[in-house]
Amino acid sequence: MYSIFIWRRGFQQQNWVPFALLAVAFSMHTAALVSRGFSLNHCPVNNLYEATAFILWTISLGSLVFGLWPRLRFLGVFTAPLLFCVGVFAMMPGLDPEYGNNPQFINGWSSLHAALIMLGYGSFGLSAVAGSIFLTQERNLKLHRASALFTLLPPIQRLEKLITYALVAGLILLTAGLAIGGTFLELPEGTSFWRDSKVIWSLLVWLFYSLLLLAHLKLDQRGGRYAWLAILAFCFVILTFWGTNLLSGIHNPTP
């Protein structure tokens, strides 16, 4: 709600309230993840609810870290609606079934594999948020030149670099997570990496983000189209993540 207020004011007055609210929420979110992790004795990334919560935690952390710079403090205004909407969806009971005696991941390599991939998706989320700010600032420059002069949003050149940095970090983390999964994880009986929906989907996500970065660095893909592609790519990730996970034999082994 406070983000809506900031939007209506045109980002022309520095305000610590959204940053402080996000920091309080992040503290409670962190405490919840730590408590759940200790109760399970492993990293809490074992079902769709926990995976989603971990992605949201990563986006929150990134928003707070970047928010330490005054010109990037409004990043939390853009992440707050995303965090709220996806967080409400993650609370659906079907996404957090009881483990019983058979948790899906039981060793350190599995937890590291999942954590790195979730951190990668969180970085992609930050690139989408930076893309949203880029488009907002670009629109201000085109339609409201007077207000754009007084806005406290970062310049679009810096935002474009932020998109790229987040994409590079996300791709490195995703690559490391996939490499660990392919090297160290033992597959459930009757499953295969190359026939698994989640593995195929993950490779497609990796390929798309690799091509997006290549187009930006080598083919001079810039501006609004670059920002839109970062946003649409993350929308695809967040909307299809749950379905491919549910169809995966590796992530949902038959008892």
**Residue 227 pLDDT greater than 90, yes or no:** yes
Q: What is the mean pLDDT of residues 147-154?
A: 58
Q: How confident is the model at residue 196 (pLDDT cuts 50, 70, 90)?
A: confident
Q: Is residue 181 part of a domain?
A: yes
Q: Which of 32, 181, 190 has the alpha carbon at shortest distance from 107?
A: 181
Q: Is residue 28 part of a domain?
A: yes
**Residue 150 pLDDT greater than 50, yes or no:** no
- Residue given tokens 């970047």 in the structure block: 66
Q: Is residue 153 part of a domain?
A: yes
Q: Is residue 254 part of a domain?
A: no
> What is the reported pLDDT for 138?
83
Q: What is the mean pLDDT of residues 206-223?
A: 91
Q: What is the mean pLDDT of residues 75-98?
A: 81
- Of the chain, the percentage scoring pLDDT greater than 90 comes to 30
Between 3 and 237, where is the model more confident? 237
Q: Is residue 36 part of a domain?
A: yes
How many structural domains does the chain have? 1
Q: Is residue 230 part of a domain?
A: yes
Q: Is residue 255 part of a domain?
A: no
> What is the reported pLDDT for 204?
95
Q: What is the pLDDT of residues 53-67, one digit of tens each?
A: 888 999 999 889 888
**Residue 104 pLDDT greater than 80, yes or no:** no
Q: What is the pLDDT of residues 4-63, one digit of tens each?
A: 777 666 665 666 778 888 999 999 999 999 998 888 777 777 777 888 888 899 999 988
Q: How confident is the model at residue 183 (pLDDT cuts 50, 70, 90)?
A: confident
CA–CA dist 44, 48 (Å, integer): 10
Q: Return the HEC string of 187-254.
A: CCCCCCHHHCHHHHHHHHHHHHHHHHHHHHHHCCCCHHHHHHHHHHHHHHHHHHHHHHHHHCCCCCCC
Q: Contacts for 96-105 with beta carbons within 8 Å, 24 or more apart?
A: 96/47, 96/48, 96/49, 96/50, 97/47, 99/40, 99/46, 102/255, 103/40, 103/42, 103/46, 104/46, 104/47, 104/251, 104/252, 104/253, 105/42, 105/43, 105/45, 105/46
CA–CA dist 86, 47 (Å, integer): 15
Q: Is residue 253 part of a domain?
A: no
82: domain range?
A: 2-247
